[in-house]
Chains A and B, each alone.
Chain A
Amino acid sequence: MAATALKCRECKTEYALEARYVCERCFGPLEVAYSAPDVHDVGELRRKIQGGPQNIWRYADFLPLESGQPGSASRNSTAGGLPAGCTPLIRADRLAERLGLREVWVKNDAANPTHSFKDRVVSVASARAKELGFTTLACASTGNLANAVAAQAAALGLPSYVFIPSNLEEQKILATGVYGTNVVAVKGNYDDVNRLCVELSGEREGWAFVNVNMRPYYAEGSKTLAYEIAEQLGWSTPDRIVAPIASGSLFTKLDKGFEEWREINLISGSRPTFNGAQAVGCNPVAHAFELGRDFCQPVKPDTIAKSLAIGNPADGPYALEVARATNGSIEQVTDDEIRRGIRLLAETTGVFTETAGGTTAATLAKLAEQGAIDPGERVVLVITGDGLKTLDAVRDSFAVHTIEPTYEAFEAEFAGAAV
């Protein structure tokens, strides 16, 4: 499957595989188009993938690079960029039991080099940027992307500029600046940052803004999350995906990943049902879903789930299409529910996720409570980032036992505890 063109999702106009993201005729988003895959032997293709590297480049045949996987196939090297992907898919029986379900899996994508799924998209965008001759990486970020771009640029030896809202969590700022990038804190929310970056990308021609002028390539990186889930489930689809929605790009590309592989019979199973997760404090897609609209009215975000705080979601209309076409839904949960979602996942699986994951876990819990999920279903919860990035969300949520360093003091505190 080779990339052949960039194609407008709206009016189908085609463009060369360059650094462009918007259709000049109708302003619609451009997507990578591929030639029809020529698969004679599904078993052989599976073996090829299984014999590939332990990172997203095992799926290089389905990604938009001209020269295939960057760097060495057999070992990790910074020449090929920071390797992303191949994160654990964990069967979460205690979580399932708590929710009255039978089969729940947690895809822990916090186990990426910079602790979020953004390493996948940045890997693809930066590799394509290098092929196109760009020498500087940049992005508009709610935090996780900033971490990923700064680290990827450090691995590749490229200068980088990351633009973030100035009120971002301190952990995310520290975990970005450490890589030696230029951190630009913009006085405004993410949508202000994004607007500035769209303007800048038109003026700075040598810069690859991974999620602006490189966006068609960047977005394709999210498909690898679906490929991995399917491969880890023994080349089959789950019945249901519960995933967070910020711009809606990940959500729609998960669906695209499964559909591409179903089409060539590389995997078995039906198209999964898609449930999206948003915070009440930033709910443009959930709100549009509720009202039956096919467009999103922008909102001014106010939620602890800052990595999901995009008030003007670019792929909102397409996320709505996916949820409706698969009999799914797009839900919204409160900040308190998000905090409880973080605790629920941590206490039942040992996976500590950030507020975005809390939003997703809380959405799963809500759907289970409503009886919207058949207990026999195989459900995959997509956890996109690490709890260490949003520590404030769990502050004061549990007690610490402070004692004198004596046996008696311990016994006094834990008199009732089992020996």
Chain B
Amino acid sequence: MTEIHLKNVHKAYGELEVIHGINLQVQTGEFCVFVGPSGCGKSTLLRIIAGLEGITSGTVEIDGSVVNDVSAAERGLAMVFQSYALYPHMSVYKNMAFGLENSKMPRAQIDERVRNAAELLQITDYLDRKPKALSGGQRQRVAIGRAIVRDPKAFLFDEPLSNLDAELRVVMRKELSALHAKIGGTMIYVTHDQVEAMTLADKIVVLQKGIVEQVGAPLELYNRPCNAFVAGFIGSPRMNMFEGHAVRDAAGLAISIEGLRLDLSDLPSIKDGDKLTIGIRPEHIAVHADGLGELTTTVKVTEQLGGETYLYCDAPGLPQITVHQPGQLPIVKGQALSLSFSRAQMHVFDATGKTVANGLTV
């Protein structure tokens, strides 16, 4: 049962600061996912927790005790690396037993633990093989097994699925989720793939440029992003974003973007002339076959996936609009398409990107 607490953690390489004061608490048994674009510092943060990187200032606490000066070996955490980092010259069994041998565990106990973990991960048949004789998915299991046998305080995963093909990734994702349910334990998982984050996490930490943008449950981030970055990062395909200025007209304060008028009168914090960004997710845009929507666009690309359809539409003066519709639509490239936008699911961001409103009421 492990709680990990970061307090005002800074990390700099020489002059270059890459982590700018991060405060974060990971609760016991929680599956916490760090997500962000490459270079956002998520892997560095994980390595800081692991003890593989030192910090410039702040404290890292594990179960209430400060571990800033405790070596990686002594922190009692286990890590699964992106490259798996299996020892190529050792058999699968040896790979899994290595950590236990180092802590001077009796042989019988090592054997029992390794076999139990192998059973759990269904790799018993491969115990005598060398890593190079395994497929990517099997290596991944061995790497996880190596972490499990140590019965660590917490599991750290550094983009563990990114070397697998798409199909296997989905399978392993489910298995990881099941594994967490089975063995419990605190897990911290780093990924740049927001789908992995959404599907696995109890709590998602969105990072950008070394700062935490938002922490929350997956759907909370999806429904109530606290800024434009999180709104854009979470959700696939990306949220559509339109820029414009608030203008007071006869009917009150509103924003008009190329013929699309949004009433902002219930947002008192917005003043006349403010630069705003409007965001709306592809699935919250409705298609009007009768042509009576708010905006007429031209379909540039259609992606018919059978179960769902993605439409990429151009409208003069606007960035390309992505529309997601369930089922199969008889729409072809070049066709004119009338769209309408659900006000209740519209997000408004101010000039700095901060969320002004998640959903308009009028």
Q: Do A and B bind each other?
A: no
